[in-house]
Amino acid sequence: MGLVPRVRGRVGAFARGLFVACLMFLALVALAGSPREAAAAPHESSTPSAAPAKRTVLAFPPENRGGKQPVFVYLHGIVGGPERGCAEFARAVPTYGWLVCPHANVREGDRYSWGGSLAEQWAVVRDATSQVAQEPEVDPSAPIVLLGFSQGAYLAAQLVATYPSAIRAVVFVGANVRPNKATLEQSGVKKVAFAAGQYDETFGYMAESARQLERAGYRAQFRSLGKVGHTYVGDAEGAAMDSLISWIAND
């Protein structure tokens, strides 16, 4: 009898891995300039000089094309890249809007980290959003949603405090961040969410950050990603991240 759960667990893990691999493949195709991603706006000329530039960031369009929808920006962790995290968040975000995933601004071989001035790092975010600014669902003047993991979450907290009215909501994952109500409200951030695995050392700190904001009357939520460590990938059955994305996206 004990064999059946183990077999099912292996099948579930294999299926999840296959799904993420497929998303990463589609994202790479998009980077190469697929016809849908590279389509010209209706008002543009058909002459070669008017052809739109290919995107340099991973980008997933919303499932429902039409109507203004928010842009979500994924900020990856230290010495890494956006590919795997972007594919994971693409399981939920396109239900609510565009997802763009830039590389951090400091390159270390084939990996990237966030560094330099805050203005330089913010420029990376703005460049990423500008690459979908002409899409019919995007209002370029509208505030964005940040999804920050690890170092990306620390950066998100700094950006919120520095660029008021530019960010509408934030999901912090795996970082000891504690934004306060006054700063969030002054910056125009409507709500924030926190998530961490039970074996992540940031788990307790993030849960307390959410509790303090809730007690102060600010909209905040915390979700456990289950029995995992320092990651953005939660237990498959829990769907904690999907739940947080839904809560963040719906005002």
> Rounded to whole angstroms, what are the CA distances from 248 to 18, 71, 98, 159, 244?
27, 12, 14, 18, 6
Domains and CATH numbers, the chain: 3-38+53-249 (3.40.50.1820)
Torsion of CA 158, 162, 164, 169, to 10 degrees: -10
At 44 the pLDDT is 35
Least confident of 15-24, 140-149, 210-219: 15-24
Per-residue pLDDT, averaged over 114-139, amounts to: 97
Residue range 30-89, pLDDT digits in tens: 444 433 333 333 333 333 333 445 789 999 999 998 899 999 999 999 999 999 999 999
Q: Please, are residues 244 and 221 in contact by the beta-carbon 8 Å criterion? A: yes
- CA-to-CA distance for 118 and 125, rounded, in angstroms? 11
Strand-by-strand arrangement of the 144-149 sheet: 58-60, 98-101, 71-75, 144-149, 167-173, 191-196, 220-224
Q: Which residues contact 223 (CB under 8 A, 6 or more apart)?
A: 193, 194, 195, 234, 240, 241, 243, 244
Angle, nearest 10°, between helix axes 151-162 and 118-130? 90
The separation between the first and the last C-alpha atoms of the chain, rounded to the nearest angstrom, is: 46
Q: Is the pTM of this model over 0.85?
A: no
Higher-confidence residue of 125 and 33: namely 125
